[in-house]
Amino acid sequence: MIKVECNGEVLEFPNEISANEVIKKTYGKKSGAVAALVNNEQKDLSYLLNESCRVELIREDSNEGLYIMRHSCAHLLAQAVTELFPNAKPTIGPPIDDGFYYDFFMDPINEDDLRRIEKLMKKIVKQNLPIQRQEHSNETLRKMFSDNSFKMEIMDDKIGQEVGSSTYKQGNFVDLCRGPHVESTSKLRWFRLTNTSQAFWRADSSRETLVRIYGMCYSSKEDLQNREKLLREAAKRDHRKLGKDLQLFHIDEMVGQGLVLWTPRGTIIRNELQQFISEHLIRQGYQQIYTPHIGKLDLYRTSGHFPYYQDSQYPPIIKRDTLHKLSDENCTCGDLSNLMSEGEIDGYMLKPMNCPHHIRVYASQPRSYRDLPLRLAEFGTVYRWEQSGEISGMTRVRGFTQDDAHLFVTENQIEQELLGCIELVKVIFGTLGMKDYRVRIGLRDSDSDKYVGSPEKWNTAEEACRNAAATLGVEFSEEPGEAAFYGPKIDFVVKDVLGREWQLGTVQVDYNLPERFDLTYVGSDGEKHRPVMIHRAPFGSMERFCGVLIEHFNGMFPTWLSPTQVHILTISEKHKEYAERIAQTLRDLALRVEVDSGDDTIGKKLRTHRKMRPAYIMILGDDEQNNETVSFMGPDREQNTGILLEKFTSDITVEIKSKS
């Protein structure tokens, strides 16, 4: 007799029975189940229960259920791809938020191929093929996948572990997989393939190049349509498109991939943001500094950035005479790289981080406890070698300016200073109307010994992070194992108007760099002590943050950030002088103004200027000129007629000052 607990009731069965039968008995045929939870483990619906246990259903619209459907969709994709492209080798295909992807070793494909694959997937769905789990010995598995070196490599890694002994089969397609999956292909109706990109096997650029195909998958038509609508809206707001239309930035192949040229209009936004932060830096007792864009290799050897992270950095700059000497000695690239790693020859590097420079500023004079906390801030530009496939607009670039700062503090100043950092983030997000954000606290993994600093210090710092995060009054999650080896951190994840999440600023406690650079201060006891460092960048980088802001505001910036705040359009030639006079009055108040007194019709002028999304569009004609008034449309684009100029200027000045 098997006793099965389901939905709080205990059912008895004489023989083994599938999880699905139990769920159907309890919840009826239309339970919406895609899989089962048997004693808290995810299983296929067909899983046979042969001993007493607890069973629950996993609904298609739950997070777990959606992941299972998306994972099943990845298999469906692989089945279609291997049917259409028999030489394609499937590698891995996990579910992700909103959908799934699968990486194939194959020639690149185009949009037409993508639609063909999608069409075949739909056909397979209609065929209602059962998706069957099979258990195999390692030996059989190796035979089954002998023509796919990627799957073989996965097995090599996993042999001796519990996984790797099952496959899932649908039609002629078999994949090495742990499952669980939906029962049959007909369960997967609401999906769509979205795009392809390049990927590398094992995310390693020295390994095989793969084609990654992305798709989305939902449990209902409505959810899929909502998602498609959102994507269309997102495409309209794409900062790469808007950045071009609104002339905010330019990326030029001749200058280099991932290197952002800030055009005049974008520069205004960046300057306003920097000015805004600078005001708060003064309020919080920071000191601003400038440091060079390069530094000696030795500096980064001490900090640990070289040679360990050299793959993500521009290659070093070597002195000319050293290079000549080495080439005379027939030195190969490999030799050169070894010599550099070992410190045999020196050179310079574009800085990947501002920290080492700031540390040398700290160390430039003897420090006492009275100097602490020392808060050094810099809008510091750094350079990283992102893979070309990962470069995108302003959000993934190879050179960017961090709104960076390093705080050198004593052990018991950590909490107070973290609070200050958090306060700044709160002000920034509040001002920019990014009300929906969450906070992640990266803590150490208590089982690991990779961490620098004593457990007592870590306890204090982690507690300080928690306390600081709690003051924000927003949701925060603690994530054990997510801390860097050198200290706990606080991350900010912002949700934009479309509900998309962006990881922006970070506050990071650091016990490591003060150690590596042997930083000290003299305490009140007259002894030398080690300071603790806090790295913090609330925006992350100016480039990324502006990219996010362009999309967040849909290019319609609040008046204080607007590249041009007032566009003045004249109705006819005879209002030109009046328009110029108004413009000068506004410019005298430091407003950014553009005048169009050309001979286009007012309708045409309006269409042209609306496209640039200025905060205010002013229209001047006979009535305005005769009465010394202005007529305008504000950010809400409502028409205001016959307003006295003083009223307009005082209102807009207040609006800009309050950053509302």
- Told to judge if 6 belongs to the known catalytic residues of this protein, a careful annotator would answer no
Judge contact between 361 and 355, C-beta under 8 A: no
Distance in Å, CB of 536 to Zn ion, minimum: 8
For 304-373, where are the alpha helices, taking DSSP H only? 320-328, 333-341, 355-362
Options 6, 73, 177, 355, the catalytic residue = 355
The CA dihedral of 463, 465, 466, 471, to the nearest 10 degrees, is 130
- Told to judge if 136 belongs to the known catalytic residues of this protein, a careful annotator would answer no
308-327 burial, b at 16+ Cβ within 10 Å, e below that, comes to eebeebbebebeeeeeeebe
Strand partners, 507: 490, 536
By beta-carbon proximity to Zn ion, the closer residue of 167 and 565 is: 167
By beta-carbon proximity to Zn ion, the closer residue of 131 and 211 is: 131
Q: How far is CA 23 from CA 37, 54, 152, 302, 427, in A?
A: 10, 11, 37, 61, 51
Options 358, 384, 444, 544, the catalytic residue = 384
- Told to judge if 355 belongs to the known catalytic residues of this protein, a careful annotator would answer yes
Distance in Å, CB of 72 to Zn ion, minimum: 8
- List the strands of the sheet with 317-318, edge to edge: 294-296, 347-350, 317-318
Distance in Å, CB of 27 to Zn ion, minimum: 26
Distance in Å, CB of 179 to Zn ion, minimum: 7
Options 357, 358, 406, 605, the catalytic residue = 406
Distance in Å, CB of 464 to Zn ion, minimum: 18
- Told to judge if 384 belongs to the known catalytic residues of this protein, a careful annotator would answer yes
- Told to judge if 406 belongs to the known catalytic residues of this protein, a careful annotator would answer yes
By beta-carbon proximity to Zn ion, the closer residue of 492 and 616 is: 492
- List the strands of the sheet with 489-495, edge to edge: 287-288, 374-383, 399-409, 532-537, 501-510, 489-495, 437-443, 476-480
Distance in Å, CB of 591 to Zn ion, minimum: 37
Cis peptide before 180 (omega within 30 of 0): yes
Options 79, 170, 402, 565, the catalytic residue = 402
By beta-carbon proximity to Zn ion, the closer residue of 19 and 355 is: 355
Identity of the amino acid at 627: N
By beta-carbon proximity to Zn ion, the closer residue of 239 and 305 is: 305
Angle, helices 414-431/455-470, rounded to nearest 10 degrees:
30
* 466 vs 566: CA distance, rounded Å: 45
Strand partners, 431: none
Options 404, 491, 496, 510, the catalytic residue = 404
Reference 70, options 157, 171, 194, 164; nearest CA is: 194
Judge contact between 606 and 600, C-beta under 8 A: no
Options 351, 489, 544, 613, the catalytic residue = 489
Judge contact between 561 and 272, C-beta under 8 A: yes
- Told to judge if 639 belongs to the known catalytic residues of this protein, a careful annotator would answer no
By beta-carbon proximity to Zn ion, the closer residue of 512 and 640 is: 512
* 523 vs 408: CA distance, rounded Å: 14
Reference 510, options 301, 401, 379, 359; nearest CA is: 359
Residues that bind Zn ion (CB under 5 A): 177, 355, 535
By beta-carbon proximity to Zn ion, the closer residue of 34 and 583 is: 34
By beta-carbon proximity to Zn ion, the closer residue of 47 and 648 is: 47
Distance in Å, CB of 75 to Zn ion, minimum: 6
Neighbours of 111 (CB within 10 A): 10
By beta-carbon proximity to Zn ion, the closer residue of 506 and 562 is: 506
Options 398, 535, 536, 613, the catalytic residue = 535
Identity of the amino acid at 215: G
Distance in Å, CB of 338 to Zn ion, minimum: 29
Place of tokens 């480039």: 543
Neighbours of 154 (CB within 10 A): 17
Distance in Å, CB of 541 to Zn ion, minimum: 13
Judge contact between 20 and 36, C-beta under 8 A: yes
Residues tagged active-site: 355, 384, 402, 404, 406, 489, 535
